[in-house]
Structure 1
Amino acid sequence: MSLPKLTRLPSARLLIINHLHQQLLPSITPLSVPRRALIQGKYRRPGQPKEDKFPWEGINFDFSKGLEGIKKHFTLLKKEFYDRWVGPEGKPIIEHMLEQNRVIWEFRGAESLQHWIVSSDKEIGGQSEVYLKPGKNGNTCFLYGTLSSTPPRDGETRYSGYCTMRSKQLLASFDRKKHYDWSSFNTLHLRVRGDGRPWMINIAAETYFSHQKDDIYSYFLYTRGGPYWQDIKIPFSKFFLTHRGRIQDDQHPLWLDKINTIGFTLGDKADGPFQLEIDFIGVSKDYAHTEEFAYEAYKRNPEI
C-alpha cells in the first residue's frame, strides 16, 4: 500500500505547508454574483428594512370570506362554461369576424373605477399626489392631482416625480389570469380631455420568462388642453418595447393576443396640478393602416 506523497515529505516542510495553508485560505473569499444580477426583485425604498415574512402571514383566514370566494369563483366558472358553447366572450363567432370597433373600458358611474389603480412617487418617499373620481355627469373618469419632482431625502434616490393610473389584471375563476385578445384589431382608440400635458400610454402583455415581467410597450399621448374632447387613434405598430423605463435595443411588435393591462403615466417634470378626463378606451380595425411595425427589428438569421 503506497502512502500519499504529502506524508513522504520531511516534517519541517509539512509544518511550513500547514502554516501557509492556514494563513492563505481565510483571506481568499469565494466568488459571488450579486443577487440583483441574477433575479431582479421588486423595488424597495432605500433604507427600508427587508420584510422577512412567510407568504401565508398576510392571508385573512375568515370563514365567511371563504364562502363568498367559493360562490364568486363557481359563478365565474359557470359563465366560462356557457360562453364556450356560444363563442368567445359570450358572442357568436360571426360577430367577432365582422367586428370593427370594441369598447374595452367605459367609465359610467363609480363602479367602473374599481377596475383601476392609481399610484405616485409617494411609494418611494416622493411628494406627488394623484386621485381618481367620476366626472361631473358621472359618465367619465377624472384623474387629477399634483406633480412634484422633488426627490426624497434618503441620500440615494436622485429622481422622482410621476403619477400613474393602471387597469387591474383581469381574472377568471379561481384567480386564473385572463387576457384580452385584440389580435383582430390594429389601433387603440380613446376619447380624452386633458390640460396640454404629455402622457405615456403603457400596455403590458403576457410574457413567457420571469425576467420579462417588467416589459412594457409604450407610446406618447399628447393632450391639447381646453374644453374640447380629443378622439385619439394610435396604431399598435407604433408602441415600442421598454423595460423598467428604458427603451430596449431589440424591438419587436406587441403581442395582441394576450394583453394584461393598460396604464397612463405622467412624468414631464413640470411641477404643478394636472388633470385628465377619459370617456372610454377601445380598439378598432383601420383597414387603411397597413404598417406591421414602425421600428427597426433585428434579425438573428438575416436573409441573403
Structure 2
Amino acid sequence: MSLSRITRFPSARLLSSIHQQLLLPPVGPLTVPTRAVIQGEYRRPGKPKENKFPWQKINFNFNKGLEGIKKHFMLLKTEFSDRWVGPEGKPVLEHMLEQNRVMWEFRGPESLEEWTVSSDHEIGGQSEAHLRLGKNNTCFLYGNLSSTPPRDGETRYSGYCTMRSKQPLFSFDRKKHHDWSSFNTLHLRVRGDGRPWMINIATETYFSHQRDDIYSYFLYTRGGPYWQDVKIPFSKFFLTHRGRIQDDQHHLWLDKVNTVGFTLGDKADGPFQLEIDFIGVCKDYAHTEEFAYEVYKRNPEV
C-alpha cells in the first residue's frame, strides 16, 4: 500500500502502525491443506485404534498355505472337467430342460459355512444374531433385536440383523456368479415367528458407486409350527440403494447373481427366529409378468 493511500484513508494508516508495532509478518494468501493421498479405513467413534502395520495382520502359516494351494488346484480341476461335461457338471440337454434347482440345502454343519451373520452389534448396537443347524437338518437363525442406538454421538437409528450367503469363488479367488436367467421365481421353504423379513439379492455391478445396489422384496412369515412354501417372482424385486428405494427401477440381472440375504429390521424389540429348509429357483410358466414397476424409457415408443 502506497503512502498516498495511507494518508488518504486514516483507518488504513492506523492498521499499518499497529502492524509495525507488533512486528507481525506480512499476511500471505490463505493456503488450503491438501487431502492425503492414502486414506485410512473408516473407524467408528469409540472404537480403539489399531497400531499395527497391514502386514502384521497376516497369518504366515505354512500348513495353511499348503491347504490353500491344494484347495485352489482342486477347484481348477473341477472347472476344466465341467467345461467338457456341461455347465456346473451337468449335460447341456439337462441344463436346458431344468425347471427347478436347489441352490442352498442345509444338511450338515459344512452348509452353514456358506453364510455370514451380522447385526448392529458391529457398529455398537445391542442386537444379536446366531446361526446353527436345526434338529431336522435345517438352518436355524435366531437372536434378539434391539433398536437402541449406540452412544457414539453420531448414529441415530439402529436395530437390524442379517444373514447373507458368501460370494462364490472360482480357483485362485476369482468371482463366480449364479446364472438364473433360465428361471423366473425364487422358491424357499421357511418357518418363522410371524415377523416380516426382507429378501435381498445382490448382483454384479459395472461401476463402483453401484456396489450398494440391492434388489429387495418382502417375506411375511405366518408363525406357528407349520412350514410354508414361498414363491416370489423375480419381477417383484425392486431396486434399493443403501436401504432407499430408487426412482429409476429396472429388471433384476439374473445372469450375474452374487449373494442372497435375509434382513430383519421391523423395529419390534425382542427375540426372533427363522428356520429355512432350502432355497431354490424354479420356472413358473403360469407367471408371465415381465416387471411389476414403472420403468423410465429414455426413448419412448411413439
Please indicate the TM-score interval, normalised by the length of the shorter structure. Answer: 0.7 to 0.9
In 2, distance between residues paired with 1:57 and 1:217? 38
Displacement of 1:154: 1.2
Displacement of 1:11: 10
**Please, which runs of 5 or more residues in structure 1 have no aligned partner?**
1-9
What is the match of residue 202 of structure 1? 200
Residues 266 and 296 of structure 1: is their aligned pair in 2 closer, same or farther, counting only changes over 3 Å? Answer: same
**CA deviations over 1:268-293 (Å, ceiling 9, x no partner):** 00011111000000000011111111
Percent identity over paired residues: 82
Displacement of 1:66: 1.2
**CA deviations over 1:153-190 (Å, ceiling 9, x no partner):** 11111111011111111111001111110000000000
Displacement of 1:205: 0.4
What is the match of residue 239 of structure 2? 241
In 1, distance between residues paired with 2:55 and 2:215? 33
Selected match of 1:173 from 171, 194, 197: 171
Residues 298 and 52 of structure 1: is their aligned pair in 2 closer, same or farther, counting only changes over 3 Å? Answer: farther
* Amino acid across the alignment from 1:172: F
* Amino acid across the alignment from 2:206: Y
**CA deviations over 1:205-264 (Å, ceiling 9, x no partner):** 011111111111100000010111000000001111111111111111110011111000
In 2, distance between residues paired with 1:50 and 1:247? 35
SS in 2 for 1:68: helix
In 2, distance between residues paired with 1:268 and 1:255? 28
1:25 aligns with 2:24: no
**CA deviations over 1:79-122 (Å, ceiling 9, x no partner):** 10010000000001101111100000001121111111111110
What is the match of residue 111 of structure 1? 110
What is the match of residue 121 of structure 2? 122
In 2, distance between residues paired with 1:46 and 1:237? 40
1:274 aligns with 2:272: yes
Q: Tell which deviates more after alignment, 41-50 or 100-109.
A: 41-50
Selected match of 1:298 from 292, 296, 299: 296
Kept in 2: contact 1:192–1:231 (CA 8 A): yes
What is the match of residue 9 of structure 2? none
SS in 2 for 1:23: coil
What is the match of residue 99 of structure 2? 100
Displacement of 1:12: 8.8
Q: CA RMSD in A?
A: 2.7
**Please, which runs of 5 or more residues in structure 2 have no aligned partner?**
6-11, 17-25
In 2, distance between residues paired with 1:43 and 1:202? 25
Residues 289 and 43 of structure 1: is their aligned pair in 2 closer, same or farther, counting only changes over 3 Å? Answer: farther
In 1, distance between residues paired with 2:299 and 2:235? 22
SS in 2 for 1:273: strand
Residues 184 and 53 of structure 1: is their aligned pair in 2 closer, same or farther, counting only changes over 3 Å? Answer: farther
Selected match of 1:229 from 227, 230, 233: 227
Kept in 2: contact 1:46–1:157 (CA 8 A): no
What is the match of residue 47 of structure 2? 48
Kept in 2: contact 1:146–1:271 (CA 8 A): yes
Q: Tell which deviates more after alignment, 47-56 or 142-151.
A: 47-56
In 2, distance between residues paired with 1:201 and 1:297? 22
In 2, distance between residues paired with 1:261 and 1:221? 17
What is the number of residues matched between the two proteins? 284
In 2, distance between residues paired with 1:53 and 1:216? 34
In 1, distance between residues paired with 2:98 and 2:148? 47
Residues 184 and 298 of structure 1: is their aligned pair in 2 closer, same or farther, counting only changes over 3 Å? Answer: same
What is the match of residue 7 of structure 1? none
What is the match of residue 62 of structure 2? 63
What is the match of residue 161 of structure 2? 163
What is the match of residue 283 of structure 1? 281
Selected match of 1:252 from 250, 273, 278: 250
In 2, distance between residues paired with 1:43 and 1:292? 41
**CA deviations over 1:14-55 (Å, ceiling 9, x no partner):** xx9xx9xx53612x648x89x9xxx9x986423436668665
Residues 161 and 237 of structure 1: is their aligned pair in 2 closer, same or farther, counting only changes over 3 Å? Answer: same
Residues 108 and 23 of structure 1: is their aligned pair in 2 closer, same or farther, counting only changes over 3 Å? Answer: same
Selected match of 1:215 from 199, 213, 216: 213
Residues 55 and 298 of structure 1: is their aligned pair in 2 closer, same or farther, counting only changes over 3 Å? Answer: farther
What is the match of residue 193 of structure 1? 191
